[in-house]
């Protein structure tokens, strides 16, 4: 609902919107840097599933400075901006290959020499988040044995609490030990933070 409201508000202000729908933040950062003048990312606040964060990105895909954010808040609060005329209303586009493009770009810049020869066995926990949409595309080119858990989106658990994080890490440790894997990796629901278990 918030995504639709935000997209509608931006188009009403004369902005063309690329709606990436559910996507990990790193993918949004990369797409913003390639295809947009700015970006906005909505996510559930870490550890507070009833709250939302609005991450505002500049044209390079990095977070806007606190000063820029305060300036934007003041402008919106004062309603000190030009309204779009009817012929200037923006459009909403939903690109279809954003995740594939990101996976291809990521694979092209990572040095994978020696990875296949290392004969790695890895357990990956996608944290029931958006990383589950990207990891299968990225991992296919690495030549490693992967056991993936929680590889789906769970709308009932949009963020992890401290308690669920520790339980997930304990479970990941058990899976790594029981499967005799080389390491385990757990992503947070946004796909931007990871924790590693040896």
Mean pLDDT of each 10-residue bin along the chain, 198 residues long? 88 91 90 93 81 91 91 80 83 90 85 84 90 80 85 76 88 96 90 89
pTM of the predicted model, to two decimals?
Answer: 0.78
> Using the 8-state DSSP alphabet, how is residue 68 labeled?
H
* C-alpha dihedral sign at 162, 195, 64, 40: negative
**What would the two tokens of residue 187 be?**
């992503």
Residue 184: predicted pLDDT: 95
The per-residue pLDDT for 158 is: 67
């Amino acid at each position: 609902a918030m995504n639709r409201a935000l997209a509608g508000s931006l188009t009403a202000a004369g902005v063309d919107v690329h709606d990436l729908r559910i996507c990990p933040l790193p993918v949004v950062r990369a797409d913003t840097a390639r295809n947009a003048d700015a970006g906005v990312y909505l996510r559930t606040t870490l550890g507070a599933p009833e709250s939302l964060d609005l991450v505002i990105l500049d044209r390079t895909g990095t977070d806007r400075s606190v000063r820029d954010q305060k300036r934007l808040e003041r402008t919106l609060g004062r309603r000190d901006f030009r309204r779009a005329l009817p012929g200037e209303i923006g459009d909403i586009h939903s690109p279809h290959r954003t995740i594939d493009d990101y996976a291809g770009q990521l694979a092209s810049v990572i040095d994978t020499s020696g990875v296949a020869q290392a004969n790695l066995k890895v357990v990956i926990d996608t944290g029931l988040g958006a990383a589950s949409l990207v990891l299968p595309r990225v991992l296919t080119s690495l030549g490693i044995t992967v056991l993936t858990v929680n590889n789906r989106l769970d709308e009932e658990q949009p963020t992890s609490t401290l308690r669920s994080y520790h339980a997930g890490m304990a479970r990941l440790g058990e899976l790594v030990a029981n499967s005799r894997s080389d390491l385990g990796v757990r992503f947070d629901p946004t796909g931007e933070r990871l924790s590693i278990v040896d």
